[in-house]
Structure 1
Amino acid sequence: MGLKLGKQMRVRLKYFSEDVDRHDNVRCYVRLPGKRKVRIHALPGTPEFLEEYQAAIAAAAIAPMRQANESKKDSLRYLCIRYYASAAYRALDGSTQNWQRRALDEIAREHGAKPVATMQARNVRRIRDAKIETPAAANQRIKALRAMFSWANEAGETGVNPTIGVKKLKYRSDGHHTWTDEEIQRYYDRHPLGTQARLALDLLRYTAGRREDAPRLGRQHIREGRVRFRQAKNEHRNPIDIDILVHPALAESIAAAEVSNRMIFLLTEFGKPFTANGFGNKFKDWCRQADLPRCSAHGVRKATSTALAEASATPHEIMAITGHQTLEEVERYTRAASRKKTADAAMRKLII
C-alpha cells in the first residue's frame, strides 16, 4: 500500500499497509515481517504521520535487541534500551534522537555488557577520550550519556551518574561553513530552475530552515503568500512556529519545479519523502556536483542570517525569520556585519 500525496502521486512506504473497518474508515499500519502491526493515527501526508511511521519502524528494530539483552538488567546496553523506550527519549525531536542513539549504540557495542553500577567518572572519560581525534564526536558521547543517566536517575533505573564532573573537550571550531554569494551562484549555475536540487537550496535559503525542515515542506505550508511551518528542532519540547512572507525567488523556484500540488515538495528518486539524514546526504551530493565540497544545508541557514544582518536587519527581525530564541547567537551575525561596515568606512577615510 502507499501514502497518498496530492491527486497525481502515491508514495509507497516500506512495511506500510491500510485496511478498512466495518464503518468504512481507512486504518493505517506499519507491520514488519514477524512483528505485530502498529497503528498510525495521524493523517497520511502530514509531518505527524511521518514521525509516527518512523517511530514504529524504530520500535520494531529495538525489539530483537531487547530480547537478546533482557537477562542483563544491570548492563549498559539494557539501560540504553530502557532509555530508547522512555517517554523522555520519545519526546525528543527526531534529529536529537538520531545522534543520541548513534552515540549510545557505538558506546554499547564496546561497553554494553558492563554493569552500570560499577561505572565511574574515569570510565566515562575513557569513553570520551576514545574519540579525542574528533572532539565534536567525543563531546556528543558525553551529551548522550548525560541525557541517559539524567533520565535513569529520575526514573529510578539506577542510583549512579558517572557523567557528573566529566567535562567536554575544548576545541576551536567555526562550525558549518557559511555560503558566500559566489558559492550560491556556482550552485545555481550547476542546478538551474526546475531541478529538485535548485528547489532544495531555495527552500533552505528563503525559509532559513534546517535540513530537518526542508524535506517536510509542502503545499500545505504555503498559504496566502506566506510560509507557515513548525521547526523540527525541539518541536515536542519547545516548538517554534515560523510565519514569513514567501520570497519571490522561492515562489519562482516552486513553480518551475512543478511541485506546487504536492504535500511534500522534495522526494527521493524512489518517490519517497527524505529523512533528515537522507536529505542532508543528498544535498551534500548536489553541492559536490557544483564543486562545493565545504558547503552544507546548515551553512545556507548561516548565509541567510548573515545576509539579513548585512542588510541592517535588527536582531529581533532576524530571530523572526530564523526562529532563534536568544539574542546571543543572532548578535554574532549583526556584530560581524557592523564590523565589516565600520571597517569599510574606515578604509574609505584612509584612502581619501
Structure 2
Amino acid sequence: MKTRYPGVTVNPDRHGKLRARFRKAGRKPVYMKTLPDQPGFKAEYQALIEAAPQIESRAIPGSISDLLERYYRAADFAGKGSDNTRARRRWLLESFRRDYGDDQVSNFTFEHIEQILLARTEKKKDERGRTFGGQVAAVKLRKEIRRVFAYAKKLKWIGDNPVDEAEKVGKTKLKGFHTWTEEEIAQYQAKHAIGTRARLALEIILWTGQRRGDARLFGPKHIVNGKVNYTTGKTGTDLWLPIARDMRRAIDAMPSVGITSYLVTGTGLPFSKVGFGNKMREWCNEAGLPHCAAHGLRKAIARRMAETKLSDEQMKAVGGWKDTQMLRVYTEAAGQEDLADGAIRAIDDRYSTEKDL
C-alpha cells in the first residue's frame, strides 16, 4: 500500500503486523523501524532520503578497482582538498586502474611499484598525439598510489605498503616551475606595455601570488574596501591583501576589462584554466622567455618576500601557504647573498661591541 511519502509502502508481514518499507533507486529496499506519522518516522525517513546510493560494484573483490571504489568514498579521499584537487588526483588513479584494475592488491610488491613508476617516467604520446609521462608524472603518481595502498593497509588487506619500500624514481632533484628573476620580469614588461592583457596578467599574479586558476577569474568583485579579497580555488583559504601600486596602474591603464574578471579572451569572456595557461605561454614566448610560466610568478613573489627578509608568517599570509615546508619550496630561489647580508647585519647590529655613536 502506497503512502504519501515517496518511496515508502506499508504492508502486513507474514505475522499480520504492519511494516513500512523504503525503496530508492540504487539502494536495496529497507524495512523501517517506525510507521508513517509515528514519533521518529520523519527523522528516519529523512536519513534514508539523504543516504548515499549503495551501488553494487562489479569489481573483482580485493582488486585495485575494488580498492579504488572504496577509497573514493572514504574520508581519506572524499574529505580532503577542493573539487579540482580531487579531480586531478582521481585522473591519476584512473590511469593506474586502466592498467592494473583487475590485479589483486595483495600481490603488489615494491618491485612491481618500481617497474610501474619507471615506466611512467618515459614520455609517450597517446592516440590523440598528446605527450604524457615523464619524471614529474611518475613522482605525482607515486604520491597518489602511496595513499591508496596506505588505505588498503588500514582495511587490513595488506601488512605493509609496497610503495614505501620502493625506490623513489629519478635521481635528479625536481625543482618544478622556474622562478622568474628580476631581469626576466623586466624583459617581459619591456615587451608587453601597460594597457595590454599580457602586462595585466603578469602584474596580477606577481602582486597577489595567485595561481593561474584564481588569476583568470580575478575581477572587480575581489576589490573590497580598497583591498584584494579572494578565496583560493585549491585550498579554500580566504585572503586579504593590500592593492600594490603596479597592479593598480595596470588595471587602470586597460582600455576595457570584463564584467566579472579583469582578464578576458578576445571575445570578452573569462579565460578557461587551460586557455589562460596557453595564453601565458604565448605571451612568455613573445617576450623571449620560453622557460618561464605563470606559476613561476607565484614563486617570484615568494622570492621577493624572502629577499626582503619578511617573516615566515608574513609570507604565508600573502601566499596562503599552510606550512613552512611548502613555503620553502617557493622561496628556495631567494638570493643567498641578499639573505646572508640581512642576517649578518641583523646580528651585527645586536651583538657588535663597537656601536655606532
Aligned equivalents of 2:62, 2:268: Cα separation in 1? 44
Aligned equivalents of 1:269, 1:75: Cα separation in 2? 49
Q: Give the aligned partner of residue 89 of structure 1.
A: 77
Query: Structure 1's 270 and 113: CA in aligned 2 closer, same or farther, altered over 3 A?
Result: farther
Matched residue SS, 1:178: coil
Q: Give the aligned partner of residue 138 of structure 1.
A: 138
Aligned equivalents of 1:310, 1:92: Cα separation in 2? 31
TM-score under structure 1 length normalisation: 0.65
State the AA in 1 paired with 2:242.
L
Instruction: Choose the corresponding residue for 2:242, options 245, 262, 268.
Output: 245
State the AA in 2 paired with 1:114.
D
Q: Is it true that 1:181 corresponds to 2:179 in the alignment?
A: no
Query: Structure 1's 228 and 83: CA in aligned 2 closer, same or farther, altered over 3 A?
Result: same
- Give CA-to-partner distance per residue, 1:4-30, whole Å, 9 cap, x none: xxxxxxxxxxxxxxxxxxxxxxxxxxx
Q: Answer yes or no: is the 8 Å Cα contact 1:314–1:334 preserved in 2.
A: no
**Pairing of 1:1-352 with structure 2 (within 5 A):** 70=58, 72=60, 74-84=62-72, 88-90=76-78, 91-132=80-121, 134-151=134-151, 154=154, 156=155, 159-160=157-158, 161-169=161-169, 170-235=171-236, 240-257=237-254, 262-269=259-266, 272-328=269-325, 329-330=327-328, 332=332, 336=336, 337-339=338-340
Report the CA distance between 1:300 and its aligned residue.
Answer: 0.6
- Give CA-to-partner distance per residue, 1:74-97, whole Å, 9 cap, x none: 543454455446554344224533
TM-score under structure 2 length normalisation: 0.64
Aligned equivalents of 2:229, 2:289: Cα separation in 1? 30
Report the CA distance between 1:167 and its aligned residue.
Answer: 4.3
Aligned equivalents of 1:77, 1:271: Cα separation in 2? 44
Query: Structure 1's 199 and 164: CA in aligned 2 closer, same or farther, altered over 3 A?
Result: same
State the AA in 1 paired with 2:64.
L
Aligned equivalents of 1:281, 1:98: Cα separation in 2? 20
State the AA in 2 paired with 1:213.
D
Report the CA distance between 1:226 and its aligned residue.
Answer: 0.7
Q: Answer yes or no: is the 8 Å Cα contact 1:74–1:116 preserved in 2.
A: yes
CA-based RMSD: 3.4
Matched residue SS, 1:206: helix
Q: Give the aligned partner of residue 4 of structure 1.
A: none
Q: Answer yes or no: is the 8 Å Cα contact 1:287–1:296 preserved in 2.
A: yes
Report the CA distance between 1:194 and its aligned residue.
Answer: 2.8
State the AA in 2 paired with 1:125.
E
Number of aligned residues: 272
- Give CA-to-partner distance per residue, 1:137-176, whole Å, 9 cap, x none: 222111111223334555x5x7235434334335323332
Report sequence identity in percent. Answer: 30
Aligned equivalents of 1:88, 1:270: Cα separation in 2? 42
